[in-house]
Amino acid sequence: MTAVTGQEHWTTKKTADGDVKLFLWEKFVGSPEQQQGKPAVLFVHGSSMASQPTFDLSVPGRPDSSVMDWFAERGFVCWCVDMEGYGRSSKARDIYCDIANGADDLKAATDHIAATRGVTSFLTYGISSGALRAALFAQRHPERVSRLALDAFVWTGEGAPTLQQRRKKLPEFIANKRRPIDRAFVRSIFSRDHPDCADAATVEAFADAILALDDSMPNGTYIDMCSKLPVVDPAQITVPTLLLRGQFDGIAGMDDLIEFFKRLPSPDKQFTVMNGISHASFQQKNYKMVYQILHAYFTQPAPVYTDSGQH
């Protein structure tokens, strides 16, 4: 097994309320100097967990539970960042930490990576509200995203039973900047759509990792997803894009995603339905399949012919 190194980074995001500290995590094989020229992956977490539990999880008896390690071993340098209000990043501001704020965090994180590592363009993967953050970031800064992968994504919210249920609590979310989380809540992420998609040991390890960092989560992404969709415009996402949709996902409505997909202007786009997957794909029994789909997309050769439109 190739040894993978993890290195923590800190940066500041400038805001009207003062500087906000953001935590970044980098994983790679070899020395920092040897990362020059390697493809860089930026992983973007969702509404209810910080970045390391999602992308750098360790589960006894379940090899390659860390997607960051898996990609690092295959020649990538991997990055993730705790959004403001999550994990090890600052939680000081009395704000909702919505999707637009998360896109600001990705701008600050990539500023830091460019300054310290010279990387200016990223293979960018986001899951759930992290997919919305990643999509908005790509819409605002297409020069920073070489390829975009959106997993468990939602556009208008049409046909999303999980969001229909969640809207019943919208007044509660608006009344409070944060909501408490516990082990039962983490388990509910896996039980709500199709309980057999994940094994209990992985769910418990995931819960352990999440709860070691946080006992509450910001409400901003929930409010956005329940009452403000759409927050991105597919016509303005010009980068190559992959949509990943779990077979049983209660948030990513199939027709909603197809309509979004049709409006993406890049001819370099793919839509993949993942068999036996519900919502949190990297923590499912079929996680290796998800890695393979993502790896294939991120290593796809550039086309030797494209139609310039001039005949």
**Residue 114 within any structural domain of the chain:** yes
The whole-number average pLDDT for the span 90-105 is 98
Identify residue 34 by its one-letter amino acid code: Q
| Predicted confidence (pLDDT) per residue in 117-134, tens digit | 999 999 999 999 999 999
- Report yes or no on 311 lying in a domain: no
Alpha carbon distance 42, 90 (integer Å): 20
The Cα diameter of the chain in Å comes to: 60
* CB-neighbour burial class of residue 310 (10 A; exposed 0-12, middle 13-18, buried 19+): exposed
Question: What are the φ/ψ torsions at residue 266 (nearest 5 degrees)?
Answer: -70, 135
Q: Are strands 145-151 and 241-246 parallel, antiparallel or unpaired?
A: parallel
Q: Is residue 307 part of a domain?
A: no
Q: Indicate whether 250 belongs to any domain.
A: yes
pLDDT at 164 over 80: yes
| Residue 40 belongs to domain with CATH number | 3.40.50.1820
Instruction: Give the ranges where the chain is alpha helix by DSSP (H).
Output: 51-55, 67-72, 99-117, 129-140, 161-166, 170-175, 183-191, 200-211, 220-227, 254-263, 287-298
Domain boundaries, position 63: 4-297
Predicted local distance difference test score (pLDDT) of residue 214: 98
Question: Would you state the pLDDT for residue 307?
Answer: 84
**Does the pLDDT value for residue 309 go beyond 80?**
no
The answer to whether residue 257 scores a pLDDT higher than 70 is: yes
Q: How confident is the model at residue 2 (pLDDT cuts 50, 70, 90)?
A: confident
Structural domain includes residue 304: no
310 confidence band (pLDDT: 50, 70, 90): low
Burial string for 271-286 (b: 16+ CB within 10 Å, else e) reads bbebeebbbbbbbbeb
**Does a structural domain hold residue 310?**
no
Instruction: Note the pLDDT of residue 1.
Output: 65
Interatomic CA distance for residues 251 and 7, integer angstroms: 33
Task: State the pLDDT confidence band at 308, using cuts at 50, 70 and 90.
Answer: confident
Tokens representing residue 4 in the block: 């993978």
Assigned domain for 302 exists: no
Q: Is residue 308 part of a domain?
A: no
pLDDT number for residue 211: 98
Contact by Cβ (8 Å): 222, 165 = no
The whole-angstrom separation of Cα 214 and Cα 221 is: 16
Report d(CA 131, CA 129) in Å as an integer.
5
Overall number of domains in the chain: 1
